[in-house]
Amino acid sequence: MDSALLISVSPTSGVPIYRQLIDQVRSLIASKRLQPGEFLPSVRTLAQRLQVNPMTVSKAYSLLQRDGLVELAPGQGMRILPPSPVKIPLNQRRQALLPLLRQVAATAYQLNLTQQQVMDLLAPLLENFDRDSEANPG
Protein backbone atom coordinates (compact mmCIF):
# COMPACT_ATOMS: atom_id res chain seq x y z
CA MET A 1 0.00 0.00 0.00
CA ASP A 2 1.09 3.50 -0.59
CA SER A 3 0.93 5.32 2.66
CA ALA A 4 1.97 8.53 0.97
CA LEU A 5 -1.53 8.77 -0.35
CA LEU A 6 -2.84 8.98 3.19
CA ILE A 7 -0.92 12.12 3.89
CA SER A 8 -1.63 15.64 2.81
CA VAL A 9 -0.63 19.12 3.86
CA SER A 10 -2.20 22.52 3.74
CA PRO A 11 0.52 25.15 3.39
CA THR A 12 -1.98 27.88 4.25
CA SER A 13 -3.31 26.40 7.47
CA GLY A 14 -0.90 28.22 9.71
CA VAL A 15 0.25 24.95 11.19
CA PRO A 16 3.86 24.24 10.22
CA ILE A 17 4.21 21.62 7.53
CA TYR A 18 6.52 19.38 9.51
CA ARG A 19 4.02 19.39 12.35
CA GLN A 20 1.15 18.53 10.08
CA LEU A 21 3.16 15.58 8.87
CA ILE A 22 3.93 14.45 12.39
CA ASP A 23 0.34 14.73 13.53
CA GLN A 24 -0.94 12.81 10.57
CA VAL A 25 1.55 9.99 10.93
CA ARG A 26 0.82 9.74 14.63
CA SER A 27 -2.86 9.61 13.90
CA LEU A 28 -2.41 7.03 11.16
CA ILE A 29 -0.44 4.84 13.52
CA ALA A 30 -2.92 5.23 16.35
CA SER A 31 -5.76 4.26 14.05
CA LYS A 32 -3.78 1.29 12.78
CA ARG A 33 -3.85 2.43 9.19
CA LEU A 34 -0.09 2.30 9.43
CA GLN A 35 1.10 -0.88 11.10
CA PRO A 36 4.38 -1.83 12.73
CA GLY A 37 6.85 -3.12 10.15
CA GLU A 38 5.49 -0.98 7.36
CA PHE A 39 7.61 1.78 5.96
CA LEU A 40 6.81 5.43 5.72
CA PRO A 41 7.10 6.84 2.22
CA SER A 42 10.66 7.89 1.51
CA VAL A 43 11.64 11.44 2.28
CA ARG A 44 12.07 12.33 -1.37
CA THR A 45 8.94 10.57 -2.55
CA LEU A 46 6.73 12.26 -0.03
CA ALA A 47 8.45 15.59 -0.51
CA GLN A 48 7.87 15.53 -4.22
CA ARG A 49 4.31 14.35 -3.92
CA LEU A 50 3.43 17.08 -1.45
CA GLN A 51 5.59 19.66 -3.18
CA VAL A 52 7.61 20.47 -0.12
CA ASN A 53 11.31 20.49 0.60
CA PRO A 54 12.81 17.09 1.47
CA MET A 55 14.42 18.55 4.56
CA THR A 56 11.02 19.46 5.87
CA VAL A 57 9.90 15.86 5.58
CA SER A 58 13.17 14.72 7.07
CA LYS A 59 12.63 16.96 10.05
CA ALA A 60 9.23 15.43 10.67
CA TYR A 61 10.64 11.91 10.37
CA SER A 62 13.51 12.67 12.72
CA LEU A 63 11.15 13.88 15.38
CA LEU A 64 8.98 10.81 14.99
CA GLN A 65 12.13 8.74 15.39
CA ARG A 66 13.14 10.68 18.47
CA ASP A 67 9.72 9.98 19.94
CA GLY A 68 10.08 6.28 19.30
CA LEU A 69 7.32 5.89 16.75
CA VAL A 70 9.59 4.86 13.92
CA GLU A 71 13.12 3.56 13.53
CA LEU A 72 15.66 4.24 10.86
CA ALA A 73 16.44 1.18 8.72
CA PRO A 74 19.59 2.37 6.99
CA GLY A 75 19.35 2.23 3.26
CA GLN A 76 15.71 1.28 3.42
CA GLY A 77 13.76 4.01 5.13
CA MET A 78 11.69 4.69 8.20
CA ARG A 79 10.01 1.65 9.68
CA ILE A 80 7.00 1.87 11.94
CA LEU A 81 7.73 0.53 15.40
CA PRO A 82 5.32 -1.38 17.60
CA PRO A 83 4.09 0.69 20.53
CA SER A 84 6.75 0.84 23.19
CA PRO A 85 6.36 -1.42 26.24
CA VAL A 86 5.76 1.69 28.35
CA LYS A 87 8.07 1.85 31.35
CA ILE A 88 6.39 4.93 32.73
CA PRO A 89 4.11 4.55 35.74
CA LEU A 90 0.42 4.88 35.01
CA ASN A 91 0.02 7.98 37.04
CA GLN A 92 2.70 9.77 35.17
CA ARG A 93 1.12 8.79 31.87
CA ARG A 94 -2.14 10.23 33.05
CA GLN A 95 -0.40 13.43 34.03
CA ALA A 96 1.05 13.66 30.55
CA LEU A 97 -2.38 13.64 29.00
CA LEU A 98 -3.94 16.08 31.39
CA PRO A 99 -2.99 19.42 29.86
CA LEU A 100 -4.43 18.32 26.57
CA LEU A 101 -7.65 17.22 28.24
CA ARG A 102 -7.93 20.53 30.03
CA GLN A 103 -7.73 22.20 26.69
CA VAL A 104 -10.48 19.94 25.45
CA ALA A 105 -12.63 20.85 28.41
CA ALA A 106 -12.16 24.59 28.01
CA THR A 107 -12.85 24.43 24.30
CA ALA A 108 -15.89 22.23 24.74
CA TYR A 109 -17.26 24.62 27.32
CA GLN A 110 -16.80 27.54 25.01
CA LEU A 111 -18.57 25.63 22.23
CA ASN A 112 -21.39 24.80 24.59
CA LEU A 113 -21.00 21.09 24.01
CA THR A 114 -22.31 18.75 26.66
CA GLN A 115 -20.22 16.14 28.37
CA GLN A 116 -22.10 13.48 26.47
CA GLN A 117 -21.47 15.12 23.14
CA VAL A 118 -17.77 15.31 23.78
CA MET A 119 -17.63 11.73 24.90
CA ASP A 120 -19.52 10.55 21.86
CA LEU A 121 -17.08 12.39 19.68
CA LEU A 122 -14.04 11.01 21.40
CA ALA A 123 -15.12 7.43 21.81
CA PRO A 124 -14.80 6.33 18.17
CA LEU A 125 -11.34 7.82 18.01
CA LEU A 126 -10.23 5.72 20.94
CA GLU A 127 -12.12 2.68 19.83
CA ASN A 128 -9.39 0.70 18.18
CA PHE A 129 -6.71 0.63 20.76
CA ASP A 130 -6.97 -1.10 24.11
CA ARG A 131 -4.31 -3.57 23.04
CA ASP A 132 -3.93 -4.95 26.55
CA SER A 133 -7.12 -6.87 26.31
CA GLU A 134 -6.92 -9.52 23.63
CA ALA A 135 -10.58 -9.10 23.17
CA ASN A 136 -11.62 -7.68 19.92
CA PRO A 137 -12.90 -5.48 17.24
CA GLY A 138 -15.54 -5.45 14.74
Contact with a copy of itself (CB under 8 A) among 40, 43, 69, 70? 69
Buried b (16+ CB within 10 A) or exposed e, 97-135: eeeeeeeeeeeeeeeeeeeeebeeeeeeeeeeeeeeeee
Is 103 a binding residue for DNA by CB under 7 A? The answer is no
Which residue among 37, 97, 137, 138 contacts a copy of itself (CB under 8 A)? Answer: 97
Question: According to CB under 7 A, which one of 3, 24, 54, 118 is a site residue for DNA?
Answer: 54
Contact 41, 54 (CB under 8 A): no
* CB of 72 or CB of 122, closer to a copy of itself: 122
**Residue 17 interface partner, choices DNA, a copy of itself, none, CB cut-off 5-8 Å depending on type:** DNA
